[in-house]
Structure formats: C-alpha cells, structure tokens
Amino acid sequence: MLSYPQRPTGFKMISTLLRLPLTAGLMLALSACSSSRPFSAADVRVTDDNQCPINLVVGQNLTLDLPSNPSTGFRWKVQDHASELLSSLAPEDYLQPEGSLVGAEGTARWRFKAKQEGAGRILMSYQRPWEATGEAAGLFDCRISVAD
C-alpha cells in the first residue's frame, strides 16, 4: 500500500482558502454566461408573419427578426408599429450572417416592450427608399394584441 507523507496542517487551511475565491469566481462567471442569453422564456420572438397574430401581456418583450440584405438597397420601412401599445427598446439592428460573405442576406432586428392593453398592427414594407411609389418587394403585416 502506498503511503504519502503527512501534509503540514497549514497546507489544508491554505488549500481551503484558495478554493473559496476560485469557486466564487467560477460561479460568477457561469451566472454571467446564463444571463447573456438573447431571449428569455417570457420574450416573444417573431421571424415570419406566419407566426401572427401576436399575443402579449403588458411588460413582455417582442423581438422581430426579418431577413434583410441592405447591400441590394432594400430595407424594411416601418409603416406602423402599434406605438400606442409598444415602446421601442432599441433602434433597428442589422445582424451579419455567419461567415460574413459580401452581399449575403442577414437579419434586421427590432425590439419592443408591450406598454399598455389593446389591439394594433405592425406593418412593414421591404423596399428601396428611392422607389417609394413602386410596389414593395416584401410585406410584413401582423395583428398584435396586448392584455393586462
């Protein structure tokens, strides 16, 4: 049977003292990772008008992700975003696709918070800004209702 030399009693205390901050640091790092998730269970994420109508409760977040390719000149133009029901949490954001190929389609993102009860509509058209009189290349039309 192997026997190991006896460690000094101070070694055990130092070892324990070193483990405490390391454990606390690891727990803090793991909790930071879990809080950086882009969506919580209470958030509603919509990527297509096939997911409509949208039902929210006051205080709930709505993230709208639509395919977009600004390199072609096309952009989503917000016609109506139910401003009486939703408050914007951030300006429109564009998410680059994986690999970042030039001219590749990415995602346009809008974030809203339901602020009051009622019914409304989110209406957006996908068009080139200088072709305001032409027919839109795409349309997102979605009914929304917010309950208290």
> What is the model's pLDDT at position 28?
39
Judge contact between 71 and 103, C-beta under 8 A. Answer: yes
Judge contact between 120 and 82, C-beta under 8 A. Answer: yes
**Tens digits of residue pLDDT in 113-143:** 999 999 999 999 999 988 877 789 999 999 9
- Rounded mean pLDDT of 26-54? 65
CATH number where 117 lies: 2.60.40.2020
- Rounded mean pLDDT of 9-27? 48
Given pLDDT bands bounded at 50, 70 and 90, which one contains residue 9? low
Q: For 26, phi and psi rounded to 5 degrees? A: -65, -45
Q: CA 51 from chain center: how many Å?
A: 17
Whether residue 54 sits in one domain with residue 29 = no
| Boundaries of domain holding 140 | 44-147
The answer to whether residue 51 sits within a structural domain is yes
> What is the model's pLDDT at position 88?
95
Domains of the chain: total: 2
Whether residue 105 sits in one domain with residue 70 = yes
Judge contact between 105 and 71, C-beta under 8 A. Answer: no
Structure tokens at 88: 């914007």
> What's the predicted TM-score (pTM) here?
0.68
Average pLDDT, the chain: 80
Interacting residues of 124 by C-beta distance below 8 A, sequence separation 6+: 66, 76, 77, 78, 79, 81, 139, 140, 141
